[in-house]
Amino acid sequence: MTGLRERKKEQTRQRIAAVALRMFTERGFDAVTVNEIAEAAEVARTTLFAYFPAKESLVLDGVGGDDLAGVVARRPAGQTFLEALRAHSGAFAARGIPETDLDALLARVRVIHGSPGLQSAANALLHQQRQALAQVLAAEYGPTAASLMAAQIAGSLLTLQEAYFQRLLDGASADDAGRALVQDIAVAFDLLEHGLTHLEGH
């Protein structure tokens, strides 16, 4: 019974998110109310908020959820934090995004780009991710150095993400965008490991 109940809850969650995304795509994030989403998804407003605590979370669920701090904290002995993060990013690039999820993902990206409020909320989530990474690094390097390193890492990964999504928005296939991402990750982490002078003479 517990398994069935959890599956039904997940189905309800997915239905609410899918309905919200469709309405946001058609009319824009700011033009759609929570009451309209709840009615279209055939759930009570209180039920919607039980799954998504704010209207923004209907779109931003998972944004900033990449646990960079956890990747660093759980890395095996003898592995540097940059090696751990490089491996983590490389694994995502190799895995890619299933074609079945691509349309919904790009729709979310377009909705976020179309709403200054959503962009601000997404930036706040990414800031929390960066702060968590800095906190883990501070134990080894001290707060100032950790904050600077976390900012460089987070900025690099955000730039990679933006380039990846832009390729997809421009019509690149998931495979082509993934291959380009693999190359970008190599450049980004070479720069993080060796500094800006790494590319001099190349």
- Beta carbons within 8 Å of 36's beta carbon, 6+ residues apart: 23
Q: Residue 65: its pLDDT value, please? A: 63
- Beta carbons within 8 Å of 169's beta carbon, 6+ residues apart: 106, 109, 110
> Using an 8 Å Cβ cutoff, are 25 and 111 in contact?
yes
Q: What is the pLDDT along the chain (202 residues), one digit of tens a residue?
A: 667 888 899 999 999 999 999 999 999 999 999 999 999 999 999 999 999 999 999 999 877 667 899 999 999 999 999 999 999 999 988 887 877 788 888 999 999 999 999 999 999 989 999 999 999 999 999 999 999 999 999 999 999 999 999 999 999 988 899 999 999 999 999 999 988 765 565 5
Q: Residue 98: its pLDDT value, please? A: 79
Q: Residue 173: its pLDDT value, please? A: 87
For the record, the structure tokens of 89 come out as 């990013």
Q: Residue 95: its pLDDT value, please? A: 84
C-alpha distances in angstroms, 175 versus 33, 121, 169, 171? 36, 30, 14, 11
Fold observed for domain 2-54: Arc Repressor Mutant, subunit A (1.10.10)
Task: Let me know if domain 62-199 sits in CATH 1.10.357.
Answer: yes
Asked if the domains 2-54 and 62-199 are classified in one and the same CATH topology, the answer is: no
- Classify residue 79 by its DSSP letter: -
Alpha helices in the chain (DSSP H): 2-27, 34-41, 45-51, 57-60, 68-73, 81-95, 99-113, 116-141, 143-169, 174-194
Q: Residue 198: its pLDDT value, please? A: 57
Q: Where are the domains of the chain?
A: 2-54, 62-199
Model pTM score: 0.84
Residue with tokens 């209180």: 46
CA neighbor of 89 nearest in space, from 194, 191, 197, 183: 183
